[in-house]
Amino acid sequence: MNLPALFARRYLVSKKSTQAINILSMISMLGMMVGSLGLILVLSVFNGFEGLVVNLYDKFYSEILITPVKGKFFDERSVHFDEIKKIEGIKAACFQLEEKALLRYGDNQFIATVRGVDSNFTKVNKVSQSMFHGQFMLESGAYPYAIVGAGIEQSLGINYDDPFGQLSIYIPKTGISYVLNPEEAFNHQIIRPQGSYSIQQEFDMEYVFVPIEFMQTLLQKPTQLSSISISILPGANEDEVIEALQNVCGKNFEVLNRYEQNKTLYAIMKTEKWAVYAILTFILIVAAFNIIGSLSMLIIDKKKDISILRIMGANESVIKRIFLFDGILLSLVGCFAGFMLSIILILLQQRFGLIEIGGGTFVVSAYPVKMEVSDFILVFVTVMGIGIIASSVPMIRNKKISSITTYTE
């Protein structure tokens, strides 16, 4: 029988002689519960937003991207594409060429990024699954078409039913410093808009997709590329594929996964998550001071019990462990109560969307939440660590606990 644990459980549920001790013990437990609840809810909300952002970015960015280390363009002949296709695990590869351009439709103008892609684009990218208007078709016979973002479509006032509606694309020529006619400073092509996609505003207001041959003609760069997008087969090891691609492409090229293509965004999200976690942990530490006060008062309240235990042969270490275990039990009960309440609230939020995001312009109407086992483990370790330290403080302060707990009638 574990005597300290037995007494600690008894002290936890029994009525104390002073009502203030009962109240302080309850406040201590509630403080650990609220702290655990807050940590789990915050981490779950961040997980939900992270999953939402990753899902949106997965629709636009390819699994792997090959780009030049220096400059915006490279010659397609500088990459050993035949060797790339032989790498195990690669599903498809798409050549891409993009540049900033001025778009004109009727009297409306807009600056966007025009990206030329080849016929494998739908195999490496999910933009075609997010069509807002029309279908994703870049060519029909010898006729090229453009797919624009929904935001660009609205800004330009594109009318797909207009048989004469054409999208003019202007890109500045390189190496020209002075011209008499301003139009001579631009490469200019006309293309018919076929449809629009809608993912999120960042993309919808930025990108236009056209056939890569059209883009190479527009830029007068018949063999130039900006990047190569690659998708891998299900079950393939991404790290191994990236390593093989890097060996084939050489040091003049970077081979990036989805995270590395958006490293700044993901780094900011992680930083915000752990910054908020740290702030709530400090609040939990403040709440843990109630445990210190509760145990200090409990020691004074249990003078008689301690004297009896000493007479029965209990040493100072055993007595201290009784009160240490009592503080740990306060933290444990509060932690698990917080866990149960957080699970209920998260499930209700997932099912009914109780807390909505104001404004009505976001991609979801309610705050997204996602539970992860690792978060519960982290919060449990944090709460119990703080609880153990807080419970140890009264024991450390009372080095000679017998000197303050000797019972006299």
Are residue 48 and residue 115 in the same domain, yes or no?
no
Mean pLDDT of the residues in the chain: 88
pLDDT tens-digit series, residues 81-93: 999 989 999 999 9
CA dist 278 and 220 (Å) reads 54
CA dist 331 and 327 (Å) reads 6
CA dist 334 and 330 (Å) reads 6
Average pLDDT over residues 347-366: 82
> Buried (b) or exposed (e) across 93-119, using 16+ Cβ within 10 A?
bbbbbbbebbbbbeeeebebebbbbbe
Residue 367 in this model has a pLDDT that exceeds 50: yes
Confidence of residue 317 (pLDDT cuts 50, 70, 90): confident
**Residue where the block lists tokens 């807050």:** 38
CA dist 155 and 90 (Å) reads 38
Least confident of 31-40, 243-252, 324-333, 341-350: 324-333
Confidence of residue 307 (pLDDT cuts 50, 70, 90): confident
pLDDT tens-digit series, residues 119-166: 999 999 999 999 999 999 999 888 999 999 999 999 999 999 998 899
Are residue 38 and residue 77 in the same domain, yes or no?
no
DSSP code for 180: S
Q: Which amino acid is at 13?
A: V
User: Could you report how far apart the first and last alpha carbons of the chain are, in Å?
Assistant: 30
Are residue 85 and residue 220 in the same domain, yes or no?
yes
What does the pLDDT read at residue 321? 84
Are residue 105 and residue 248 in the same domain, yes or no?
yes
Are residue 97 and residue 171 in the same domain, yes or no?
yes
**Pairing outcome for strands 186-197 and 227-232:** unpaired
The number of distinct structural domains making up the chain is: 2
Domain boundary among 230, 261, 292: 261
Residues whose CB is less than 8 angstroms from the CB of residue 64 and which lie 6 or more positions away in sequence, other chains included:
229, 230, 231, 232, 238, 241, 242, 245, 255, 256, 257
pLDDT tens-digit series, residues 390-399: 988 887 765 5
Are residue 7 and residue 96 in the same domain, yes or no?
no
Q: For the chain, how are helix, strand and coil distributed in percent, rounded to 5? A: 55, 20, 25
What does the pLDDT read at residue 180? 64
Domain boundary among 227, 261, 295: 261
Are residue 153 and residue 41 in the same domain, yes or no?
no
Residue 210 in this model has a pLDDT that exceeds 70: yes
Are residue 338 and residue 365 in the same domain, yes or no?
yes
pLDDT tens-digit series, residues 320-344: 888 888 889 999 999 999 999 999 9
Least confident of 65-79, 101-115, 293-307: 293-307
The answer to whether the beta carbons of residues 335 and 58 sit under 8 Å apart is no
For residue 167, what are the β-bridge partners?
Answer: 191
Are residue 33 and residue 178 in the same domain, yes or no?
no
Average pLDDT over residues 295-308: 78
CA dist 383 and 329 (Å) reads 12
Are residue 74 and residue 47 in the same domain, yes or no?
no
The residue among 259, 232, 269, 277 whose CA lies nearest residue 381 is 277
Are residue 237 and residue 295 in the same domain, yes or no?
no
Least confident of 99-108, 281-290, 390-399: 390-399
Structural domain of 95: 62-261
How many Cα atoms within 13 Å fall on the side-chain side of residue 31?
Answer: 27
Confidence of residue 3 (pLDDT cuts 50, 70, 90): low
Are residue 188 and residue 279 in the same domain, yes or no?
no
Domain boundary among 228, 261, 294: 261
Average pLDDT over residues 227-255: 96
Residue 182 in this model has a pLDDT that exceeds 90: no
